[in-house]
Chain A
Amino acid sequence: MSWNTVIGLEVHSELNTKTKCFCGCKNEFGDKPNTNCCPVCTAMPGSLPVLNRDAVERAILMGLAVGCRINNYSVFERKNYFYPDLCKAYQISQLEYPLCVGGGLEIELEDGTKKFIRLDRIHLEEDAGKLIHSRNGTMIDYNRGGVPLIEIVSKPDMNSAEEAVAYLQKLRSTLLYVGVSDCKMQEGSIRFDVNISVNRDGEPLGTRTELKNLNSFRAVLRAIKYESARQIEELEAGRKVIQETRRWDDAKGKTYSMRTKEDSQDYRYFPDPDLIPLDVTEEYIESIRKKLPKLAPERKAEYQKMGLTEQDATLITSERAYADFFEAVLKYFNEPKFVCNWITAEVFKKLNALEEDDRKISVTPQDLAKMLELYKNGEINQAGARKIFDALWEGETDPVRLVETLGLKQLNDTGALKAVLEKIIADNPKAVAELKAGNEKTMAFFVGQAMRATQGKANPKLVNDLVRELIK
């Protein structure tokens, strides 16, 4: 009998509100320690939390985007434990009555099969501070303490590392579409915990372990593969899987035991008496629903109506940033297929060379639109377009000027091109013979030679036409 892997994911995502969840301090990454802090977010005696309305709205917005039911009655509870990054020694979180329950996401796998991953809940809570190690000990910075987080808990509906990563990618994309989180893995604004167990076909679920310290999709992929193999190995050797939390060591490519269930904490959850239960009315939910931006499926359908293929529409809506950019370019140059082709080929090539967090389109829609217009109208050729695009990506602006300064104006002068080609034809009788014999590949040779002779400015289509005319 073969083994099944069962995976559930807990995703923590920081919300991009201006201020923290329970006080008016700035929600900002990377500032000097404790400069975005006040009595509330450093647990000064006597301070009290006051809930940020936008944090609630963003959590509900995400819930609506993934089809959750929004609870009309929602309670904040205290999760009590001692740790230096948790200044109150309790985290304000939700347990019994979370804001959102149910819902789910459809993922698409490499082979095109689709699968629906159910969600258990989405709840709102606060982030902890950060520990920084110094020569004298551990320094505590509470700038991140109190930043609003949503925890998105899936059902154990995934059965492979690939499914888990597809789910995470879809979830991240949805968060970005809804616009409630920056989802920067390196800054920790999105973090993943994996629950994993294995069992044989037809047998009940196995004992699960929880994996922590997964900082990239690649880490999730590797950690799940490692842990699933480790559990199978344990069981096949007649040993047991222990219910525990394990830490992923990315450098070593292994998971290590952090703590077992026996010394797991008793969090003593109880409703936070400083925060009254949230009364989320249907009217309020509807007013938030109106703020829900267009999500991928809706945009995909629109793009297909513009003439994009399903594949292209899927590609360009895979992230909100791409779709937004696509639409922005169309405002200046309304050639959907042409624009889409450039984005999915050239822009994606640039982006794929970057780390996930750094994937930012560094060309303005106006400039790209102008460049594509020049290209489409034959004022520059593809090689020229690429050169301008490279320059724009490096921070240059104004494609019209770049055509001049880079000397990329396409040579469309039939007479001049003819003269160049006549010489090439005369110098290469062998190639002429091949072309005449029907070897179409030889045409590329002529185009290449023509390009070389014109410093890349020749209009390739015109070259093509002229060669045929001249050797007829």
Chain B
Amino acid sequence: MSITIDDVKKLAKLSRLEFTEEETKEFVKEFEATLNQVDAINRVDVSNIDLLEKTIDADTELRKDEITPSLRADEIVSNAPASEDGAFLVPITVAED
């Protein structure tokens, strides 16, 4: 399993994380060690395994469509780094859909 500097850079972008060149190089090395370890999953024969079957005891009922109390807007934004009139505030962002 090999991984390149470009791979790490792409992953960092996907993860919304920034790394210095040095850190990126270090990551490449670490990743290889981790991936070598992770390669162990290929030792097991899983050809007969059906993932559809449930693995947890899933007898939980779905929620009834009944209104439960919400928090107040000021409680919702109480931990926000920036807010305005009960709404979270970020720099101007264009609609993307």
**Residues of chain A whose beta carbon lies under 8 Å from any beta carbon of chain B:** 17-19, 23-26, 32-39, 42, 50-56, 73, 82-84, 131-134, 136-142, 212-213, 258, 266, 268, 276-277, 279
| A140 near B76: Cβ-Cβ < 8 Å | no
Q: Does B47 count as interface, using CB distance less than 8 angstroms?
A: no
Contact B58 A19 (CB under 8 A): no
- Report chain B residues within 8 Å CB of A24: 63, 66-69
Whether A34 contacts B76 by the Cβ 8 Å rule is yes
Where chain B touches its partner, the secondary structure class is loop
Nearest B residue to A266, CB-CB: B14
Seed contacts A24-B66, A84-B88; 7 additional CB < 8 Å A-B pairs? A34-B73, A51-B62, A54-B65, A55-B65, A132-B87, A140-B88, A276-B54
A33:B85 contact, CB within 8 angstroms? yes
Q: A51-B62, A54-B65, A82-B16 are in contact. Are A38 and B90 (CB under 8 A)?
A: no
CB distance from B74 to the nearest CB of A (A): 9
Report whether B86 and A138 are in contact in the complex, using a CB–CB cutoff of 8 Å: no
Pull 27 A–B residue pairs with CB atoms less than 8 Å apart, ordered by A: A18-B65, A18-B67, A19-B63, A19-B66, A23-B68, A25-B70, A26-B67, A33-B85, A38-B68, A38-B69, A38-B70, A51-B63, A53-B61, A53-B65, A55-B65, A84-B90, A132-B87, A133-B92, A134-B89, A137-B90, A137-B91, A138-B90, A138-B91, A139-B88, A142-B88, A276-B58, A276-B60
Task: Verify if B64 is at the interface (C-beta below 8 Å from A).
Answer: yes
What separation, in Å, do the CA atoms of A453 and B52 have in the docked complex? 83
- Per the bound structure, the CA–CA distance linking A19 and B61 in Å amounts to 16
- Within 8 Å of chain A (Cβ to Cβ): is B95? yes
When C-beta atoms are compared, the residue in chain B nearest to A128 turns out to be B97
Q: Name the residue on A nearest B15 (C-beta).
A: A82
Closest to B56 in A: A276
Of chain A, the residue at the smallest CB distance from B71 is A38
**What is the distance, in angstroms, from A112's C-beta to the closest C-beta of chain B?**
36
Is there contact, CB below 8 Å, between B86 and A35? Answer: yes
CB contacts (< 8 Å) of A50 on chain B: these are 62-63
Does B93 count as interface, using CB distance less than 8 angstroms? yes
Asked if B23 lies at the interface with its beta carbon under 8 angstroms from chain A, I say: no
**Residues of B participating in the A interface, judged by any CB pair closer than 8 Å:** 14, 16, 52, 54, 56, 58, 60-73, 76-77, 82, 84-93, 95-97
**A-side contacts of B71, CB under 8 Å:** 37-39
CB distance from A140 to the nearest CB of B (A): 4
Other-chain residue from B64, B92, B96 in contact with A53 (beta carbon distance below 8 A): B64
Among all A-B residue pairs, the 6 with the closest Cβ atoms: A24-B68, A54-B65, A53-B62, A139-B87, A276-B58, A33-B87
Q: Is the CB of A37 within 8 A of B92?
A: no
Tell me which residues across on chain A come within 8 A of B90, comparing CB atoms.
Answer: 84, 137-138, 140
Smallest beta-carbon distance A464→chain B, Å: 60
> Is the CB–CB distance between A134 and B62 below 8 Å?
no
Does B67 contact A19, Cβ atoms closer than 8 Å?
Answer: yes
Contact B89 A140 (CB under 8 A): yes
* Cα distance, A141 to B86, chains bound together (Å): 8
Instruction: Tell me the bound Cα distance from A73 to B93 in angstroms.
Output: 39
- Check B62 against A52 for contact (C-beta < 8 Å): yes
Nearest CB of B to A33, in Å: 4
How distant is B64 from chain A, measured CB to nearest CB, in Å?
6
CB atoms of A37 and B76 under 8 A apart: yes
Q: Contacts A19-B66, A53-B62, A276-B56 known; A35 to B73 CB distance under 8 Å? A: yes
